[in-house]
Structure 1
């Protein structure tokens, strides 16, 4: 039997971290060897999360955990403020980062890509791990060839820190590859309230909603002569992201360099 892939989860006490820990424990090819949370140290993962994680304990020190547990993969669901340092540490110790936190720049992704290649390891940064969301983005890029006028409304829980979401940015990037840059709306339009027309990327508008009750939702709205087309995806709960996380933990072992977007592992 092949050896299991050893995984450390950073932010393991958070909402996404808890789901990730459970998904790893359920998968026969993965092994949870470490869990990090800045508020916990030396306490049982099983006791805190109510799962059977064996002898694995929480640590509040990322670097110490990477050195002591010698994982193959580090899954990070933290915040933009700490995520970047965690990726640097993982690559430094030859651990493959799988990152669901968003908020990095293209230049940072390129630098991590080069660093991973120099260490001979892979990495995955995924704005969205839900398979349905990836299909939404793929369908949107196809639709933009025929209906180039498009706006995005993305809706998330009110604890999300970045706006627009990484999924919205990735969707706009894919659409921009399928259509020419163009202006939208009336050339003389004006906002009586600043920001009413949303943010703009290459002429496309994006609107961010942050309210309690939401998890992660996005609709891509296309307009044409006498018609509109809406492509919408809804993550009803965080379990929707877990098949993509588990897939990434396995597929990242086959790559060198940083893969940006789970669609590159699927399609």
Structure 2
């Protein structure tokens, strides 16, 4: 069996550590390098407080990509775009687990991936249940013309909307644009109270203590309403299996795949 060499950027972070440990436990994946600026120069096992694993930690993605097949990025919204472009130009596939990239960013990344012959799999949420919720929302949008999105996260989440909410809005826009009885831009009083328009969909982001992550797509018709809601608990466990699935897919593909649900529904 040929092993896929993997680099995890953000391997000391909340999700990144869980994913890196899962790579170590996988028979077909090898954790070759890690990226964490605060631990650069150390062995990842020692950084985690255990025995050395033979996995060097680097301060930059560019330094960590030698003999790497796929980069898994769980860093920050400020760094992810640079990391993805660096890897793709180096001929390394990428799994994008960090939020912060716009539709325009992904258009550029798609072109780069095609040019350099590598696969990029990006998802606002690598939870299998979140992916299925997105697929259900796309189906609903084919039949129900009115919808909005509510995005919930902890008070400390620095970006809004979440990657999950942004991706969902963009996926629904690919089905059609929602209809509004009163265009949000024409709202009397404070139009900003109607939320942000993401790909034509109004998205409302709540940042409060007590939430981890949740996204709702709310669809309405006269005298009835459909709510498709995904919630995640306080551990990173929901995102591990989908990330590993995407890692294997990125190594075997060329070009950009948006959304874990695209992989699940294709059967790949």
| TM more than 0.5 | yes
Give structure 2 stretches of 5+ with no counterpart. Answer: none
Q: Quick check: 1:184–1:203 contact (8 Å CA) kept in 2?
A: no
**What corresponds to 2:196 in structure 1?**
199
Query: 2 CA distance for matches of 1:259 and 1:130?
Result: 16
Query: 2 CA distance for matches of 1:121 and 1:89?
Result: 12
CA 1:139–1:40 in 2, change beyond 3 Å: closer, same or farther?
Answer: same
Query: 2 CA distance for matches of 1:189 and 1:221?
Result: 20
- Following superposition, the deviation at residue 180 of structure 1 comes to 4.5
Query: What is the aligned counterpart of 2:83 among 86, 92, 110?
Result: 86
**What corresponds to 2:262 in structure 1?**
264
- SS of 1:13's partner is coil
- SS of 1:219's partner is strand
- CA deviations 1:37-85 (Å, max 9, x no partner) are 1111222211222466621132213222213xx1111111111221111
Query: What is the aligned counterpart of 2:125 among 111, 123, 128?
Result: 128
**What corresponds to 1:29 in structure 2?**
28
- CA deviations 1:120-151 (Å, max 9, x no partner) are 21111211111111111111122223332212
- CA deviations 1:93-125 (Å, max 9, x no partner) are 211111111222323222222222222211112
- Count the aligned residue pairs: 263
Query: 2 CA distance for matches of 1:180 and 1:35?
Result: 41
Greater alpha carbon shift after TM alignment, 232-241 vs 104-113: 104-113
Q: Quick check: 1:191–1:197 contact (8 Å CA) kept in 2?
A: no
Query: 1 CA distance for matches of 2:26 and 2:152?
Result: 31
Q: Quick check: 2:145–2:178 contact (8 Å CA) kept in 1?
A: no
**What corresponds to 2:239 in structure 1?**
241
Structure 1 runs of 4+ off > 3 angstroms?
A: 50-53, 177-181, 184-189, 201-204
* 1:145 to 2:142 alignment: yes
- Following superposition, the deviation at residue 185 of structure 1 comes to 4.6
Q: Quick check: 1:172–1:201 contact (8 Å CA) kept in 2?
A: yes
Aligned-residue RMSD, C-alpha: 2.1
Please report the TM-score for the alignment, with normalisation by the length of structure 1: 0.90
Q: Quick check: 2:121–2:249 contact (8 Å CA) kept in 1?
A: no
Residue correspondence of structure 1 range 41-120 to structure 2 within 5 A:
41-50=40-49, 54-67=53-66, 70-120=67-117
- Following superposition, the deviation at residue 203 of structure 1 comes to 5.3
* 1:173 to 2:170 alignment: yes
**What corresponds to 1:216 in structure 2?**
213
